[in-house]
Chains A and B, each alone.
Chain A
Amino acid sequence: MENKELICVNCPMGCRITVTLDEGRVIDIKGYTCEKGKNYAAQETVRPMRVLTSTVRINGALARVLPVITSQEIPLDMMEEAMEAVRMLTVDAPVRVNQVLIPHFLGTDADLVASRSMKKI
């Protein structure tokens, strides 16, 4: 059995949450004040998940790069691999916001999507 302490980042309250793990499995969570905090703490101690935002090259737009975002969180431990895939990608204008650029990004449930529209110039 092992206790992990973390501070919830969902809201300004910053609750100090203690998660008790037994061989990597969550068996108790204490100190949270809402469901969101409880879920965050459970996920965070097992495998932290994050939304990735970055940019990819774009041809034919006003800017040189297009901001992109994962449509949902992906594992934090996959960020390096994710950035390699992002660096390889070049898109052509026009692009619509939320347009899928890479579906099932790295085999996860998330898509890599454009996080704004860009006109062709």
Chain B
Amino acid sequence: MRNYQAVIIGGGSAGLAAAVTLKQKGIEDILVLEKDGEAGGILNQCIHNGFGLQTFKEQLSGPAYAERFEDQAEQLNVEIKLNTMVTGLNAQRQITYVNPDEGYVTISADAVILAVGCYERSRGAVEIPGERPSGIYTAGQAQRYLNIDGYLVGKKVFILGSGDIGLIMARRMTLEGAKVYGVAELMPYSNGLPRNMKQCLEDFGIPLYLSHTVTKIYGHDRLEGIDIAKVGPDRKPVPGSEIHFDVDTLLLSVGLIPENHLGDEAGIEMDPRTRGPVVDESYMTGIRGIFACGNGLHVHDLVDFVSLQAARAAEGAARYIREGEPEGRTVNTAAGENVLYVVPGKIHTDNVPGHTEFFFRVRKPMDDAVLTVRAGSKVIRTVRKKKLIPSEMERLLLTQKQLTGLEGDLVIEVREN
């Protein structure tokens, strides 16, 4: 069996950034496995701009951002196997993949980096009652048809969920000549970034129905209409508040979930909140030598942070390949009051190299809030935040000194002033 120093599963934004960093750190014997016919992952269909402000100080389109990393990977002679589907991963870091050239192959690696991305929550997951006609798509699916294959999936459109892909598709389909009747959001606030609310809905006069959901689907072969209704504080539809729309297309933009069936198969412990693996500060999962990053770890809103995090995971993997596992005690991190999740889920408190960056999301929009990091009852850091919203991932740096010798779980909590 061929053994590599490192194998990266996924050639999207996380996988490419991890591969580039491994090469830069002198890990030469690496392989990237990508299921699609080209590298770049979801960026290839995200043709809108706004990518790369952090990384390149420019506003690039998704494909242009991916191309920068593809060019770097090519210059560094990163081997990428395209049209290659990974079908198995075990705790001994053996990987099975299939592709049209080699058939069914098993390889092994000193380090595996999972850069597998996420998938869209579907109709089944949100339980919309009614008929089962064609014309109901996840927003990303409609985006792929339009931006890669050149097909507009409908002319009269409604969108359920105010996630960013839904908002972006509202603008995109409007520009392509479709009529977008509105966006319904179950929560009393938008789940999309403010700039997308402005530039994708307001610019085109598309109404946003907050605290609303789709309650009925009409049409036998093709979608013919939908009902939406207001929801109460219990998020249940309020009878009598229904509004009907004659539409041929319903897009669902109701959330993304890390793709983790390979991780499950390998027996990696998952965080029930992020639905991705629990990792330490080097991005190693509970299984030695298997690392995770990007949207397969937790769903990001900006690709720049995916690239940064993937680079950290690659540094962790490079260190593991050379020096073995980090030693010493670990403490768990925990999401305290008003915090949805914290990544990484555990950290070594001794021999932490440099700063450790934490990623988290708040549960609800908050103005003028105080963020507290504590271990047990000891407060390690407090930060005042003018504005926090669930759709923007927050980052927090702790120094080596702040993390050394901690006792008890490291809790991040937020309170409104």
Q: Which residues of A contact B (CB under 8 A)?
A: 7, 9-10, 12-14, 48, 50-55, 57, 62-65, 67, 69, 76, 79, 83, 97-98, 115-117
Contact = CB atoms under 8 A, between A and B. Distances in A.
Given A55-B146, A97-B67, A115 B194 contact: no
Q: Chain A interface mostly helix, strand, loop or mixed?
A: loop
B243 interface: no
Interface in B126-153: 146-150
Contact of A50 (B38, B60, B203): B203
B203 A13 contact: no
A47 B177 CA distance: 23
Which of A53, A65, A83 neighbours the largest number of chain B CB atoms within 10 Å of its CB?
Answer: A53
Which of B59, B63, B150 neighbours the largest number of chain A CB atoms within 10 Å of its CB?
Answer: B63
Interface residues of B, number: 31
Contact of A7 (B176, B194, B203, B392): B194
Contacts of B59: 51
B61 A69 contact: yes
Interface of B: 37-38, 44, 47-49, 59-61, 63-64, 66-67, 146-150, 172, 175-177, 194-195, 198-199, 203, 386-387, 389, 392
A48 B194 CA distance: 16
B203 A67 contact: no
Contact of A12 (B48, B63, B194): B194
Given A12-B392, A83-B176, A62 B149 contact: no
A54 B194 contact: no
Please name the 10 residue pairs, one residue from A and one from B, whose CB atoms are nearest each other, closest first. Answer: A116-B63, A67-B47, A9-B195, A115-B61, A64-B150, A65-B150, A9-B198, A51-B49, A53-B48, A115-B64
B49 A12 contact: no
Given A9-B198, A79-B175, A115-B47, A62 B64 contact: no
A76 to B, nearest CB: 6
Given A63-B149, A65-B150, A115-B60, 15 more contacts: A9-B198, A12-B194, A12-B387, A13-B386, A14-B387, A50-B203, A53-B48, A53-B61, A55-B147, A62-B37, A63-B150, A65-B147, A65-B149, A67-B47, A116-B66
